[in-house]
Amino acid sequence: METLTHEMAAHAARLVVEEGLDYGSAKRRAQKLLGVPPRSALPDNDLVDAEVRAYLALFCADTQPRELAALRRLALVWMDRLSEFRPYIVGAVWNGTATRLSDIHLQLFCDDPKSAEIALIDQRVAYQPHAVAGVRGQDVDALSFSDHCAELGETIGVHLMIHDHDDLRGALKPDAQGRPVRGDRKALAQRLAESEQA
């Protein structure tokens, strides 16, 4: 059974890197591709993350660091543009597994949830509203739009998850391995600088 779980994780990792799928979608697709019964346990995100990193090191070592740096620079632009809403970055661009197919995910912590939407309107950004699971598992408003990344010559999806300012306190807890789940502008800039020095 453990071998099958690892096989699903490896397939999911390939889908994450090659098709830009999120972990949940990639695991479900891998389950179908391998013909695993629907009620079988899926690999956890830590295992998929380890497989994604292994795949990137093996097949994308010559391109992924540059693509990640370009996405981090674009994320910093949006964090600056939305600085009044206390932006934190999450996902692949934050944790270092992003490729040119990855989207940028920012969590905003607002005093007034509608203020971020007004800011996008003021900046003439065409966005799509929808709902996603927030830091506490509850549905929160999300605003999604695309921006051109000149460095990559790609259009990149940017997703803003709108949280109440009070949610920030609980959001700063590390994951089970003690790693920060999200980072503010300073933390992202530091990761970018460290990767460029390496």
What are the domain boundaries of the chain? 2-59, 64-197
CA distances, 136 to each of 89, 163, 173, 196 (Å)? 16, 10, 12, 34
pLDDT value for 98 = 96
pLDDT value for 155 = 97
Is the pLDDT higher at 140 or at 176?
140
Q: Mean pLDDT across the stretch 121-139?
A: 89
Residue 179 clears pLDDT 90, i.e. is over it: no
Residue 191 clears pLDDT 60, i.e. is over it: yes
pLDDT value for 1 = 54
Per the confidence metrics, is the pTM higher than 0.75?
A: yes
Residue 139 clears pLDDT 80, i.e. is over it: yes
Architecture of domain 64-197: 2-Layer Sandwich (3.30)
pLDDT value for 100 = 96
Q: Mean pLDDT across the stretch 14-20?
A: 94
| pLDDT tens digits along 88-98 | 999 999 999 99
Is the pLDDT higher at 141 or at 176?
141
pLDDT value for 102 = 96
| pLDDT tens digits along 23-69 | 999 999 999 999 999 888 999 999 999 999 999 999 999 999 999 99
Residue 169 clears pLDDT 90, i.e. is over it: no
Residue 6 clears pLDDT 70, i.e. is over it: yes
pLDDT band at 115 (very low <50, low <70, confident <90, very high): very high
To the nearest whole number, what is the mean pLDDT of the chain?
Answer: 93
Give a three-class secondary structure readout of the chain: CHHHHHHHHHHHHHHHHHHCCCHHHHHHHHHHHCCCCCCCCCCCHHHHHHHHHHHHHHHCCCCHHHHHHHHHHHHHHHHHHCHHHCCEEECHHHHCCCCCCCCEEEEEEECCHHHHHHHHHHCCCCCEEEEEECCCCCEEEEEEEEEEECCCCEEEEEEEEEEEHHHHHHHCCECCCCCECCECHHHHHHHHHHHHHC
Residue 174 clears pLDDT 70, i.e. is over it: yes
Is the pLDDT higher at 140 or at 79?
79
